[in-house]
Amino acid sequence: MDHVIRAVTGEDWRRVKELRLAALRDPVAGIAFLDTYDSAAARQDEHWQERAAGSRGEAIVQQFVAERPDGGWDGSVTVLIERAGRTDALGAPTDVDQAHLVGVFVRPEQRGTGLARALFDAAIAFAHGLDEPEITRVRLYVHQDNRRAEAFYRKIGFTRSGRSVPVPGDGSSVERELVLGEHRPGGDR
């Protein structure tokens, strides 16, 4: 793999926007993201600048990307740090300090190459490397019909927690919570 996995900076906002729009054009975007292409494309530049800047106020947010030698981006994952005693990204109370992984995307031509695992290794290492808060749980949600994504998550150590939430605007579908068991950065790819 010739990619460099790195955290985005505020200066990367145009590429953050481009990659997100590419993700939302992917054939599985309807079950992989809660956002739509039209909604994202209509957002002002300030939205993308704030998104690329990451941490805002007390919130800790960090996006990681897989960058090719030519500077292009082939994938990303974002870490949201959710604090115990507060409300999580879905509006539910949080019992523990945890990392919530969102916005997972790898361009189709890079799937199955180990790139997603490298992105997850970086995101999880970031979460566990924080001095404060001490992260005791890493989780994500996956649509019930996104079998390929769930298979990947399970392969790298995530298991179903038993919790699920309804998909907004779709009363017949749920997103399942998966939590990380023992994760070994750089382990089996």
CA atoms 137, 182, 165, 143: torsion sign: positive
Mean pLDDT value across residues 113-119:
97
pLDDT attached to residue 66: 97
Could you give the domains of the chain?
4-180 (3.40.630.30)
Tens digit of each residue's pLDDT (9 = 90 or more) over 86-107: 988 888 889 999 999 999 999 9
Specify the pTM: 0.90
Query: Half-sphere exposure (CA, 13 Å, Cβ side) for 52?
Result: 18
Confidence of residue 55 (pLDDT cuts 50, 70, 90): low
Could you tell me if 26 and 32 are in contact, meaning their C-beta atoms sit under 8 angstroms apart?
yes
Could you tell me if 124 and 99 are in contact, meaning their C-beta atoms sit under 8 angstroms apart?
yes
Tens digit of each residue's pLDDT (9 = 90 or more) over 132-173: 999 999 999 999 999 999 999 999 999 999 999 988 888 789
Could you tell me if 147 and 176 are in contact, meaning their C-beta atoms sit under 8 angstroms apart?
no
